[in-house]
Amino acid sequence: MLGFATAALNARAIGAEGIGVIALFQSSALLMTGLFSFGTQQPLISLGKQALHDGDRKRLGGIASLAISLDYASSIAAGVVSLIIVSGFGEKLNLNAETVYNAQLYTAVVFLSGVSAANGVFRLFNCFHYFAFAQTWNAAALLGCSLVLFAVRAPLQWYLIAFGLINIVTAQAQVMLALRLMKANSVKFEMPLEVLRFGGLGREFLSYAWTTNLTGIINSARMNGESILLGAMFGSATVGVYNVVRQVAGVFNKLASVASNAIFPEIADLVAQRNYKLARQLLNRLAILGLALGLFGAFSFLVFGETVLKTAFGSEFSAGYNALVLLGFAGAITLSGATFGGFVQAFSSPVSLLKIYIVAFVIYAVAATFLIHQFGIIGASLAQISFSIAFWLGCWLLLQKILNAQRYVNE
């Protein structure tokens, strides 16, 4: 709700063009972060769960410390590459001097963006209220900042600087909360060489992380690349309209993220217990419940979406109505399969999930290239539907094969 209010206020203050510029900066930063991310959250949880069960706090400290350190290392690498691209190739990318300067400033967000491991610590100890604190603080700060900037009629550069600072503070606060949570659970931030070397932690962690790294890259390219593509083909105003539409439809992604974050530790327990019957039941219930909630939301967009866009954001954003409805149906499929990735990782392997991601992304990339060129933001929404369907089917068919085969073995 806070994010919706912020988007509506900014739409009135800086219009589709301004929102589009901000969206392009944010998408570029997130894309670079995703390209270099090690995907530390899932391996931290999987390996950390086993260390918790074994009562090995020293090994758990090594796992968490390695994950947090890798986050910072990957963020620094992403930041350096971003600066090189912006500073060295800005003119070749047709960026004017002011845009290059703003991009250089915004690169600070990339340098300090690694929070994957911190979120993994929250999930590992079931402290989801830390998620709530970080996300609510971030949304409230963005809204408060937008109110001030609106009141003083600030230029666009002020928005970029203020939003960047808020995101940096939020990211670092999450890391500090994770370290505090580790200390409260007698887990030290250290990487003893004997744990990394003789316990095989480094090798085991990285053998798991390379797959989550690639799935993270795919997700980042899918979620952020289309804004850059839209900007290149149709300009920042079109990106602004699409960004608002995604903001409204983003409720599906938020719910899917909540479901995925909450359920993965439970899935890991079901695997440890070899409880395939309960796993099948849980998978089916979550898929049906997610689809029902998602379709309700999609039909709400169909009925009320145009009115919401006009009233909250302005008449120029009503052009995104059809895209909003399509994203609603894509979100329904996403919500239905929100926990599929965790099930595939746990009951098959991270490599199996990566293969599904690759196939779904290839389908998406081909569809997006053609559809965005032909239909603009409607094409971007159709491409998201293609990815959602491909990913859902790939995970579902694999899980049915694995869980049904295990049922016959048990019987």
Q: Divide the 411 residues of the chain into consecutive groups of 10 and give the mean pLDDT of each group.
A: 88 88 87 82 81 83 88 92 85 75 89 88 87 89 95 92 93 93 88 56 68 80 86 88 88 74 73 79 89 90 91 89 94 89 84 91 94 93 95 93 66 45
Residue 409 has a pLDDT of 44
State the Cα–Cα distance between residues 141 and 21, nearest whole angstrom: 20
Side-chain half-sphere CA neighbours of 102 within 13 A: 20
Q: Dig out the tokens for 47 from the structure.
A: 């390996």
Asked if residue 217 lies in contact with residue 35, where contact means CB atoms within 8 angstroms, the answer is yes
DSSP string spanning 296-325?
HHHHHHHHHHHHHIIIII-GGGGGGHHHHH
Residue 97 has a pLDDT of 82
- Domain boundaries along the sequence of the chain: 1-209, 235-411
| CA neighbor of 361 nearest in space, from 154, 197, 219 | 219
Q: Dig out the tokens for 234 from the structure.
A: 């149709």
Letter for the amino acid at 5? A
| CA neighbor of 146 nearest in space, from 3, 343, 348, 292 | 3
Q: Dig out the tokens for 71 from the structure.
A: 């986050």
Residue 304 has a pLDDT of 92
Residue 365 has a pLDDT of 93
What's the Cα-to-Cα distance from 381 to each of 307, 322, 333, 375, 386, rounded to whole Å?
19, 9, 13, 10, 9
Asked if residue 15 lies in contact with residue 316, where contact means CB atoms within 8 angstroms, the answer is yes
Residue 202 has a pLDDT of 64
Residue 198 has a pLDDT of 45
State the Cα–Cα distance between residues 238 and 376, nearest whole angstrom: 8
Residue whose pair of structure tokens reads 């199996």 in the numeric block: 352
Query: What global pTM score does this model have?
Result: 0.76
State the Cα–Cα distance between residues 96 and 110, nearest whole angstrom: 21
Q: How would you classify residue 358: left for phi > 0, otherwise alpha for psi between -120 and 50, otherwise beta?
A: alpha
Residue 376 has a pLDDT of 92
Residue 408 has a pLDDT of 45
Instruction: Note the Cα 91 to chain centre separation in Å.
Output: 30
**Counting Cβ atoms within 10 Å, is residue 5 exposed (0-12), middle (13-18) or buried (19+)?**
middle
Instruction: Note the Cα 263 to chain centre separation in Å.
Output: 16
Residues in the chain: 411
Residue 380 has a pLDDT of 94
Q: Dig out the tokens for 137 from the structure.
A: 């603080």
Residue 348 has a pLDDT of 84
Residue 131 has a pLDDT of 81
Asked if residue 33 lies in contact with residue 110, where contact means CB atoms within 8 angstroms, the answer is yes
